[in-house]
Structure 1
């Protein structure tokens, strides 16, 4: 029996097996052509400004790339390239608002970044006074968000653990339903609830029959807003933990409660931290609950259980409505301070969760 020797492909045959593709400079040349055509058709004819020119240039880029890829690469490769372009375009389109917000905060929020802004309050500051800061609002935000986090995180995590690990039947479904309903309630409803329950009903019992506004009441209102976010995010993270980890622990004789605390919760820890920080960010940016139950005091008050308090979000709201040339600068700087504060807390929480994970 003879064995045939495989024939070696010639240079022309190997070249025919190669798939034709656009050169690496083609997207850049197409983008330049789209910008030039859009500039001539829209901007030079005074039909629109730079924004419309950019939109038309993006559409022309997609069309030009689709036509060029169809003729050179074929229909299948052209569809793949078009899908890639649309995905990148959607990413850039979603990123533009974020970049705009960051640029606006940095350009307008640095006007009052001085020691006076962080060391003084608005107490005894007139409408047309240049000075005045947000020290009282920073203190109020940290205390209110901190107390709300201390209240919400244990309740939210235990509620999620019950739903995932223990809850069955009607009760678990009812809890999940009401958590979903609470996710969409307006912040003003939370403030009204705490106002009627805590300020007008509970505080008169120990305050000689008089209701009292306080930062603690604002923290309670913020905790109502944070709770559904923490429960839902923790529930989803717990469901992502593989069942094999639980079964392996049960096979070794580990009790269920210890399996949850030692295996399930640490495994889902980074996701839980992300959900908690989303809830904290929402709470720190709420204005209506603080205005209703804390009053928005312009002086510094460290006592969260007695007397009114302000917050950075409420401070921004108040300064934005003041008819003064110095108020917008204070408002933008307070907004930048709030964003930086939430960013620092988020990064610190992420690093702490990552360090604990590495330690295990």
Structure 2
């Protein structure tokens, strides 16, 4: 056997040291950044575009991180009630949740602006404000006060204006109407004289069936069909004035978030950004076929009277000014959205083809 030369010895020693360093680094990374979170979902993960984004994000992030980051997603109500997700995350009862932030508007008035705004932005416009404008920064600043870090994780297109047992023609038809409506749109209808209630998604169909409510909104036609609203309320109204976009967020306890490495934070951000885009494409792809099947189900798609829409817009404008005067955060975020819209409007008006009749 040939004796080992000094240079070879040095090379072997270098390789051994490098191997130990690499092994140690891997172990340190694993110890620090191994994520195993229980994530409470606000919507059922069987609902396309609305509820399933967090399921797909969990699958993708596990694969992309080679199992380093894993979310165990729980269906609505399994860990905490749907309207209590933010509070549970704030107190670190659970590390994270998939939430519709407008359910926080009782305690955080400006939260509704991050979820859906009547006569507000279209989905790609909202996403542009979030990523390229002030949206992300303002949302993080708002929720930092509540020990929460929000990450945009889903945006879908307009809801319908609701499912009604009887036709509506004017603002007078809304007075005294018992209707399930959430977010800022619900506040608008209250001002219009409707009797508005906010109940979780799983309770809507029984309430409609028993007559506790006469009408409801929830989401897009493909989702509402799964909920069964078309079996009882045969008048589906458009456009979804109250919710031109619907945004949902992954919310994370801020202390938990701040302890993560930059690489793990970036991985979660990237997964949710991808989830946001896929939610939009998934939601848009499904609606046409559902609308085509309305006739066979005895459902009539109806358009709201222009005068009714104009009346709702006037009420909305008054409400936004009222809430802006009451809450500085609301004003800051609403003003930012309006400024972005004003800049964007000239582009949208010139660049896009008019919709064919």
What TM-score, normalized by structure 2, do the two folds share?
0.24
Q: Report which of the two structures shows the higher radius of gyration computed on alpha carbons.
A: 1
What TM-score, normalized by structure 1, do the two folds share?
0.23
